[in-house]
Structure 1
Amino acid sequence: MEELARLAGITVRTLRFYRERKLIPPPRREGRIAWYDDHHLARLRTISALLERGHTLNGIAELAEAFDHGRDVGDLLGVSGAPTEETPVRLTPEELADHFAGEVTAENLAAAMDLGYLGTDGDELVHISRRLLDVSAALVREGIPLAEVLAAGHRVREHAESLADLFTALITRHATKNDLERLRPLAKSVVDAELSMALDRRLRERP
């Protein structure tokens, strides 16, 4: 415990307090000896970094619980399918907090995991898509609450699944299965053009 506290730059008393608050997992025990590892050190450094960013201990405890109970990256890729065009991004909890300053709550973290945006891999988080991460962060910087961005993501996902079903059925009725990937850019172009024109119409309708 003394060695762990020294490496983390905190006192043994603070470490005991974090253990009592369940901010770090219990050590592995062999008889009367408690063994800590790099996972504990990484968690302590994360706690210190989040405290520096203005998070409270209660908020960090809630984040830790959501983190520990989130789906791992294997489940994430199993649910969402390994992306063929999207690039997953590895993030520390501190880096995620920097992307969404003040918006990383246990509720939002759980919502992002339920949506399939985030998974865990050891002490890191994995976002399924660099583009979605960047766009979500940009929307939050524009003043849109992250909770609403994630709620919109749920609705977009539903529409995207319906559109994928439509184009998959259309293409497979008139082409071979192997043509589906080749014709994929055409389907995306149709959706992009229609969305662009729909946004134009909404802008013209605004007073």
Structure 2
Amino acid sequence: MNAGEFSAKIGLSARTIRSYHARGLLPPPVRIGRTPHYLDDHLTRMRQVLWLQRRGLSLDAVGALLEPDATLGQVVPVGPAVAEALRGKPDLLAAGVESGIISQHPDGTVEVHAVRAVFAAGGRGTSVAHALGLLAEMADAVAPHVDKAVEAVRRSTACANLAKPTVPDDLADLVLEVVRARIRRTLGCTTPTRDN
């Protein structure tokens, strides 16, 4: 849909939509030629943002909920430490990229996608290089299980006739939260709720 259609569908002015782009709450539109176009994932994201706002959350809180790694990376920038740890270690760089923890841009800069994971792996004072190696090793070990989990969630959402995630990020979020809940239960990190 073009910008006007998107604006009408969500009930916001073009100027307001640009402010959500500027805050990083809405990805930029896809350009086809010179014309910006919005996809269904833009609509889904905007609806999530507005839903959270209507419940009283500030835009900063909404950003932290929807993009926790990006928010954490802004507060505690780990990029420089990761880049330093990878300097001269092409095997560690390749393993980090393969695992999805980091990516390397054509100009050679490194972007950290899993800031929370880097913190979790290095939480006991270990070096960043050791944390990255540990994360790459763990990502490799769980890869087959992740593939199965993604496929199971895909099938479940289709069979349950839910508004199934149509974009990879939505599916990734759903799989991650289901696995996170199960891991917390398995490790005894949850407490039963009481009916009052």
Instruction: Name the TM tier (shorter chain).
Output: 0.3 to 0.5
Q: TM-score, normalised by structure 1?
A: 0.40
The structure, 1 or 2, with the larger RCO (C-alpha pairs under 8 Å, 6+ apart) is 1
Computing the radius of gyration from Cα coordinates, the structure with the larger value is 1
TM-score by length of 2: 0.42
